[in-house]
Structure 1
Amino acid sequence: MATYVIGDVQGCFDELQRLLEHIEFDAQQDQLWFAGDLVNRGPKSLEVLRFVKELGGSAVCVLGNHDLHLLATWSTGGKKKLKNDLQPIFDAPDRDELLEWLCLRPLMHTTPEFDFCLIHAGLPPQWDLTQALACAQEVESVLADQRCREHYFAEMYGDKPNLWSEDLGGQERLRFITNCFTRLRFCTQDGHLALDEKGAPGSQKKGLLPWYLVPGRQSENIKLLFGHWSMLGYHHEANTWALDTGCLWGGELSALRIDVEPPVLYAIDCPCQRKPG
């Protein structure tokens, strides 16, 4: 049995199928881990959602920021702006079934078989594995409750608070946790999030570091797999593996096989579907 971790698909269904053919994926034996952002911007988000859901136990997917935006638009009755690429999902007869399924996806995934953990974006330097899993569970429990998640989605957006404290509570605590797992790229050495920085390492303002390079990061002993950062591309450093290789922007769609040592990267070229911006 092989286990592959796939970077941001973002509605690129045809490219996903080509990648699975390339790695000779066997749904009866193999496992796929998706690093979030199954949807948005690409042409076939509906098909991607249906496909991953139908894989059942053969697939794991953590939530990304684009997945959460889709769920927020749905949960708030369209009060949040719907992106055109997502309209086919809202028009689909199985919309509610698909989005209820998506609501129950985790923010962080790990298993006893591997010492790898899967997230979409990043972790603040103050969190170790135990803290990260506990924080993920806080948001996951809200998403699983229809009444609670309506309020959560209505208040989810925003860049504050930007520093972790155990004293954080309510929606501010949930927003900080969500921003770490689904939006983080850069932060200061003491863990202040810089959510407006989206470029490649080296382009950031003075005093900022990629989250995985903060000295003394409490999660540095965990093998962390993440997506979200297409400007970073495939990158292995400091016990982390970045897997968003920019399929949507004409780059590649990648799969990292993690049940072998060392892990093996597979990738396919993708035609450019969107211009950055």
Structure 2
Amino acid sequence: MNRTLFIGDVHGCLNELQEILNLFGYVPHKDTIYQTGDAVNKGPDSVGVIQFILKNDIHCVRGNHEARLLRLVDTPKENWTDKEKKMAAIIQEPEWVASIVSQWPLWIDTPQALLVHAGIEPGKINLSAMDPNLILTIRTWDGCGKDLDNKNNPAWYDCVQWHKAIVFGHWAMKGLLNIPGFKGLDSGCVYGKSLSAWCPEEDRLYSVPAKEVYSEVNKKKHPYFATLKT
């Protein structure tokens, strides 16, 4: 049986990416692999992750970190902020990585599910009419798209009805989400939690633990992160 695997946010964690494909029993040229974006930055080996993605024909959507990288390489180096300099140093080969991720779409409408990085805009049915920034960054919905990360507002997926499953990442602070119609697969690998994936043919979740904490969470801002399901 040909199978499909959707993998959550990798953030440069190459070892865990390789491990989850081994756990899945990936068969090249037979199985199809997708990834939720934010493949790069924060973690130890963004270049290695991109090389692995290319070698294994993994289909990725663009995440907000890829979008940030594209803005960075379009900015003269003398104008880089300290945060941008840090990002370039972490990614190591920002121009080459940007040349690859610039080809990634905002969404992939697969036979099994709609794949996006963060989510879709409630109330709209035409993906092309949705705000690209919203697709990259939404977590919660305020009714108008001005405040997309307010914990007092409902999660975007509580405001959406879609004709097939939606697979997304982006929300590590929410943890792994597995509810009817929605699969949230960012389970915080880069923060020392786990890398998660979903196979629709088996309706099975796969998970491998992070080998270490590659990037620290702001514990004052997210005091509950340590208790999240991964």
Distance across 2 between alignment mates of 1:193 and 1:258: 33
Query: Alignment partner of 1:29: what SS?
Result: coil
Query: Alignment partner of 1:127: what SS?
Result: coil
Query: Which residue number corresponds to residue 178 of structure 1?
Result: 132
| Cα shift readout 1:40-96 (whole Å, capped 9, x = no counterpart) | 1101111111211232xx311000001111111112233443253532645x4xx64
Task: Give every structure 1 segment of 4 or more consecutive aligned residues whose post-TM-superposition deviation is greater than 6 Å.
Answer: none
Aligned partner (choices 114, 119, 137) of residue 117 of structure 1: 114
Distance across 2 between alignment mates of 1:231 and 1:221: 27
Change (3 A) 1:83 1:21: farther
Q: Is the 8 A contact 1:7 1:36 kept in 2?
A: yes
Change (3 A) 1:12 1:85: farther
Query: Which residue number corresponds to residue 84 of structure 1?
Result: 86
How many equivalent residue pairs? 213
Query: Alignment partner of 1:255: what SS?
Result: strand
Q: Is the 8 A contact 1:45 1:85 kept in 2?
A: no
Distance across 1 between alignment mates of 2:180 and 2:133: 21
Query: Which residue number corresponds to residue 225 of structure 1?
Result: 167
Distance across 2 between alignment mates of 1:42 and 1:274: 7
Query: Which residue number corresponds to residue 105 of structure 1?
Result: 104
Q: Is the 8 A contact 1:71 1:99 kept in 2?
A: yes
Which structure 2 segments of 5+ residues have no match?
219-230
Query: Which residue number corresponds to residue 9 of structure 1?
Result: 10
| Cα shift readout 1:95-137 (whole Å, capped 9, x = no counterpart) | 64542221111000013xx241000001121211xx11x247x
| Amino acid aligned to 2:136 | T
Query: Alignment partner of 2:48: what SS?
Result: helix
Query: Alignment partner of 2:12: what SS?
Result: coil
Change (3 A) 1:135 1:83: farther
TM-score calculated relative to the size of structure 2: 0.84
TM-score calculated relative to the size of structure 1: 0.71
Q: Is the 8 A contact 2:13 2:43 kept in 1?
A: yes
Q: Is the 8 A contact 2:8 2:168 kept in 1?
A: yes
Query: Which residue number corresponds to residue 145 of structure 1?
Result: none
| Cα shift readout 1:143-188 (whole Å, capped 9, x = no counterpart) | xxxxxxxxxxxxxxxxxxxxxxxxxxxxxxxxxx122111100112
Q: Is the 8 A contact 1:45 1:86 kept in 2?
A: no
Distance across 1 between alignment mates of 2:171 and 2:90: 26
Change (3 A) 1:238 1:24: closer
Change (3 A) 1:27 1:9: same
Q: Does 1:266 align with 2:206?
A: yes
How far has the Cα of 1:16 moved from its partner?
A: 1.0
RMSD: 2.0
Aligned partner (choices 236, 255, 267) of residue 178 of structure 2: 236
Query: Which residue number corresponds to residue 146 of structure 1?
Result: none
Query: Alignment partner of 2:5: what SS?
Result: strand
How far has the Cα of 1:19 moved from its partner?
A: 1.4
Change (3 A) 1:192 1:84: closer
Query: Which residue number corresponds to residue 67 of structure 2?
Result: 68
Q: Is the 8 A contact 2:12 2:46 kept in 1?
A: yes
Q: Is the 8 A contact 1:42 1:85 kept in 2?
A: no
Change (3 A) 1:42 1:98: closer
Residues 142-157 of structure 1 correspond to what in structure 2 (within 5 A)?
none
Distance across 2 between alignment mates of 1:239 and 1:191: 23
Query: Which residue number corresponds to residue 45 of structure 1?
Result: 46
Q: Is the 8 A contact 1:254 1:268 kept in 2?
A: yes
Query: Alignment partner of 1:4: what SS?
Result: strand
Query: Which residue number corresponds to residue 141 of structure 2?
Result: 187
